[in-house]
Structure 1
Amino acid sequence: MFEFENPPAFFLFLLIPVLYILRYIQIFSPLSLPLNLSDWNGSNFKWNGKTRKIISALSGVLWILFYVCIVFACADPVFHLQQKVYSSKGAAVVFVLDISPSMAAKDIGSISRLEAAKNSIVTMTNANSGSEFGLVVMAEDAAVLVPPTMDCSFFLSRLDSVNVGELGDGTAIGTGLSCAVYHLENSKAPKKSIVLITDGENNSGSVHPYTAARLAAGKGISLYVLGIGTRGVVPIDYIDPKSNKLYSGYLESKFDTSSIAKIASEGNGKFFEIESLSSLSQAVSSISRNETVAQSYYIKNQDVFYYQRFLIAAVIFACIAWSLRRLLLQEVL
């Protein structure tokens, strides 16, 4: 929350109209003497003061800005920050995200499957601020981008940088789930879960997804599987990160949810079939409710003062205005 701790300082603005009134009635007005210069039998001295008037007006504006900054500094602006500091652990969630080229298909609303998945992850992250979040991406292989962490800004920045095709073509679901289990099994979180978001069958990797799902269940890790995509001809376009070649056209989607639904069953988890933004929103809301953990926390207050910034700005404006009048206009101040 932004506020001024010394608001009466704004009454100093009343001095500006008072000064102009006094100068209008010839009090505090600058002294001026008419002076005509000419040569004998010559023309009178002519001076084009357009540039000088512009510089003088600019200098006047800068002096006004100088005074405004001084008044704001005297008003003592401050921004009050309140931050939740958790004193107990929340849930630990690792997202296993499919980034194979088929995730670029645009059949979830007007956006691609990957963008819809990323938006749902952001929504769940914002709804569970006290939890730890991790990210595993998979295609032909799998990689851990973010181990479980409470640094949401870092997590979201890494999520935002994910693009389709970075790990080739394929769907290594078993490998992705195994990576997630490895990073969750030693966690002290009261609730641990894996959220798998994919649009295809396992066709790569050395670990069978059923084996990985049963491993997660044996470690007390909840498993949620989101099968995202529709059947039929759907538009698709993406840029291959390796060749920078644009692929655009249509994909014959033969999305079969039976195999990935079986993964959820093997891991005693839940399966959600996602064919629209509304079904995706309902799935995310359900997972958030299930993974909510009551946490103890306290509020940390922090004040950020801005008067120094206004003082610095005032000094800068004053130096520029003085330089214009003294060096360019060569006035004695």
Structure 2
Amino acid sequence: MSSSNFIDYVKICSRSGAGGAGSMHFRREKYVDKGGPDGGNGGRGGHVILRGNAQLWTLLHLKYKKHVIAEPGNPGEGAKRTGAQGKDMILEVPLGTIARDAETGQLKAEITEDGQEIILTPGGRGGLGNDHFKTSTNQAPDYAQPGEPGREEWVILELKVLADVGLVGFPNAGKSTLLSVLSAAKPEIADYPFTTLTPNLGVIAYRDFKSFVMADIPGIIEGAAEGRGLGIRFLRHIERNSILLFLIPADSANIQKEYQILLGELEKYNPQMLDKKRLLAISKSDMLDAELEEALRKELPKEVETIFISSVSGKNIDALKDMLWKALNG
């Protein structure tokens, strides 16, 4: 998926339908003397509804749909007939989509399951017809309720990729290569910073037909939490991952420092990120001999479980899968 097709943030105007007016009607039939009130209720206005769709990975289809409008309800009719309900407007969105009020930032909805439906903007209620108001003391009410107006609001839809494991690292740490080796994902890989401009998802096959999902998040640079580089646009995707797999190449000038910078960026963006399980993989370790690898181990952060891997030679790739599975199910 090219970066131009990956849209993870849209702002829309959501307008629900107005409710139909209740009917003010009296029964008029031949041979029926003094027919009573029989005005029906108005129909409900259409809702604007979010529906989860596991086949969608982007909000691209909503990028140019600025105004989303549901139908109004029909008015009630005589013979106690209720007006037809306004047609709902259903917006299909990827799993991991959240909706916020554009003015207050308040969370309105969160879609995490396929087929899940949440009313984003409710339609107006239909008005009651005059049949509803008849009583023993008021047998001919000559009034009915108007329909409730629909609502109009600006809403921000934001996608946070759902994955079990999020790959965290600087540009060129080897995340895309690792994902392509672990799964059937085929991210575009080239030899320049920010190769990955969109999150790539891969399903990792494990033993006994088990599997888990890994997301290759675009590289973090120092200052990302303040918006440098690709900034916080992609940091939000890491929020949803159960486990964070930090990937640092063996030829890094200072692995410990690089790890602390990555941690710092996550903490500045959202301190709760540090509550997630963390693992550290040292990539490109096929270039190390046993003596150099042992020397590097002494410099590694002690608080995180570490493994030396190589996507090129396949070194410890199966062991990494075991480690991830154990952390996911531990």
With normalisation by structure 1, the TM-score equals: 0.28
Larger radius of gyration: 1
With normalisation by structure 2, the TM-score equals: 0.28
Q: Which has the higher contact order (CA 8 A, sep 6+)?
A: 1
More helix by share: 1
